[in-house]
Every structure is written in structure tokens, then in C-alpha cells.
């Protein structure tokens, strides 16, 4: 089955729907991405056009299909030890943290989990030499599809080249036989992590305060009012003096009053008397 190109009206429909549900602002340059990611799904459903699919999403007749579309359209590029300087900073913050309570970290747009398990390896390595408090990590994403991958913690070896060799030996299990070419994160690290679906543009669920939050390379998809809302909500879940990391090429300057930069993509709220 062939589908006609996405019309301006159809693009406006999916653009407005995705913005309402996720806060992501699509530009016309994303038309090809939309077509590519939805084409097979429309074929599976036996629909004749993109417009018919968008009509189905808007009708509310199949609410699960809306989540499927969100899963397909949200961008999920990630890899282990991406922007590695932030994990060195995480290690420094953890080493200085009080030992009388649990050190909590949140990957607020964790995608398929590589960021969460990079955090876990970083903190486990610090603990191995007795320099880390007890810790736990939460990962969240709007996409249920990527969360399923994160929970499985099973990755192609081709996606693990950035993991240091010592970390591969200590914290990863290489597959053999039918699992050749794959890698499983060690159970001890998986037991220190949990995952949940959270939509960052909606009111957040009740959360235990975090010492560190990562929200990296996500804000570029939001317009300024949505950025302000999302960042404000995340800051409200930080302990006093807690750190917020965004992408190293992203900036929060002028977005929220009282934010202090500690380096590329690293911020803390100013402490007031």
C-alpha cells in the first residue's frame, strides 16, 4: 500500500496533538520523520491515509493507539556515557553527600535506559572504594516502549563501545549461545534502579526529593513556556543544593530566576536565607 504525502492539514493535526500530549513542538522539517515512523503502523491497521490514522487518534476509540503513536514519534537517541563529564560531576556530588540518608538520582527522560545504567555504574564504582553513600536511581520516560527496553537491561554489544573495559567486566554480563552479541546489566545494579512512565508536562506524581536530576538533550524539543514549566517542576523535587543536568549544549540562562551554573549543562538553585 502506498500513502500520499503528508498534507499541511494532516501535519497541523499531528503537530497539535503531539504538542498537547507531550509538549514537543514539531517543525515542518519533521514531516519526513512523521511519515517514516508512522507508515508501517498505518499499514498494520489497514488504513488508507495519514489523515485516517490521525482521525482515529483524535476519536478516542482506541486510547492505546495514542500511546503507540507517542512511542513512535518521540525521539530516543541515547548511548552509554554520553557527555561523560556529567558522570564525573555526579561522582563528585555523590562523594560529598551525607551518609545518613539515601542518595537519590532521577533520569527524567531516560529513553532505553543507557543513562540510568551509566549512573549506576558510576555510583557503584565510587562505592567499590568506599566513597559513596547508599544510592538509588529512578528512570522515567513518556514512552512505554523505551521503558520496556530499559527494564530488560539487555543491549546489543554494538551499543556498548563507550563503556570502559573495567566497567564491562564488573557490571555487565556477556551473552553466549543464543544470546551471543548481547549484554545484560548486572543484577546488583538493576536492583538499585526503578522505572516509571511520567509525562513531564503534566503535574508530577508524589516523588521523594532527589539529589541529582538529569534532563539532558530534551528541552530542545520544547518552546520557552513549556521549558519553564518542566524545569520549574523538576527543581521543586530537588533537595536544597541539589543539581540539575541538561545537555552540555543546552542553556537555562534567563529561564528560571536563581539558577547558578556549575559548568556546561550543570545547574543548582541559589540558596537563600
Q: Known catalytic residues?
A: 37, 141
Q: How far is CA 191 from the centre of its chain?
A: 19
Q: Distance between CA 212 and CA 238 in Å, rounded?
A: 7
Q: Output phi, psi for 10, to 5 deg.
A: -65, -40
- Collapsing DSSP states into helix, strand and coil, what is residue 226? helix
Q: What is the CA radius of gyration of the chain?
A: 20
Burial (CB count <10 Å: 0-12, 13-18, 19+), residue 99: exposed
Q: Output phi, psi for 182, to 5 deg.
A: -120, 170
161-194: buried (b, 16+ CB within 10 Å) or exposed (e) per residue?
eebeeebbeebbeeeeeeeeebbebbeebbebbe
- DSSP one-letter string for 83-133: TTHHHHHHHHHHHTS-SSS-EEEEETT-TTTHHHHHHHHHHHHHHHTT---
Identify the DSSP state of 4. Answer: P
Q: Distance between CA 118 and CA 163 in Å, rounded?
A: 8
Q: Distance between CA 118 and CA 106 in Å, rounded?
A: 12
Residues 139 and 150: beta-carbon distance below 8 Å:
yes
| Residue matched to cell numbers 532527589 | 210
Amino acid at each position: 500500500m502506498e500513502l500520499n504525502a503528508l498534507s499541511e492539514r494532516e501535519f497541523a493535526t499531528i503537530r497539535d496533538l503531539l504538542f498537547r500530549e507531550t509538549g514537543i513542538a514539531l517543525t515542518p522539517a519533521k514531516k519526513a520523520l512523521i511519515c517514516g515512523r508512522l507508515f508501517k503502523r498505518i499499514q498494520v491497521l489497514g488504513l488508507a491515509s495519514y489523515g485516517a490514522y490521525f482521525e482515529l487518534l483524535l476519536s478516542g476509540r482506541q486510547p492505546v493507539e495514542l500511546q503507540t503513536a507517542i512511542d513512535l514519534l518521540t525521539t530516543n537517541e541515547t548511548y552509554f556515557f554520553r557527555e561523560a563529564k556529567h558522570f564525573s560531576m555526579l561522582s563528585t556530588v555523590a562523594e560529598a553527600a551525607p551518609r545518613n540518608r539515601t542518595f537519590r538520582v532521577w533520569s527524567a527522560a531516560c529513553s532505553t535506559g543507557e543513562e540510568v545504567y551509566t549512573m549506576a555504574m558510576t555510583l557503584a564504582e565510587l562505592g567499590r572504594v568506599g566513597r559513596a553513600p547508599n544510592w538509588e536511581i529512578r528512570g522515567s520516560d513518556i514512552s512505554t516502549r523505551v521503558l520496556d527496553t530499559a527494564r530488560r537491561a539487555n543491549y546489543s554489544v554494538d551499543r556498548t563501545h563507550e563503556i570502559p573495559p573495567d566497567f564491562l567486566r564488573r557490571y555487565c554480563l556477556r551473552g553466549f549461545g543464543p544470546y551471543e552479541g548481547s549484554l545484560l546489566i548486572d543484577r546488583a545494579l538493576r536492583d538499585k534502579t526503578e522505572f516509571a512512565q511520567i509525562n513531564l508536562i503534566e503535574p508530577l506524581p508524589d516523588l521523594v526529593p532527589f539529589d541529582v536530576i538529569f534532563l539532558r538533550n530534551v528541552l530542545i524539543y520544547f518552546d520557552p513556556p513549556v521549558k519553564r514549566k518542566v524545569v520549574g517542576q523538576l527543581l521543586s523535587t530537588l533537595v536544597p543544593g541539589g543539581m540539575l543536568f541538561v545537555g552540555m549544549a543546552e542553556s537555562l540562562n534567563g529561564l528560571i530566576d536563581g539558577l547558578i551554573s556549575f559548568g556546561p549543562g550543570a545547574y543548582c538553585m541559589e540558596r537563600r536565607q
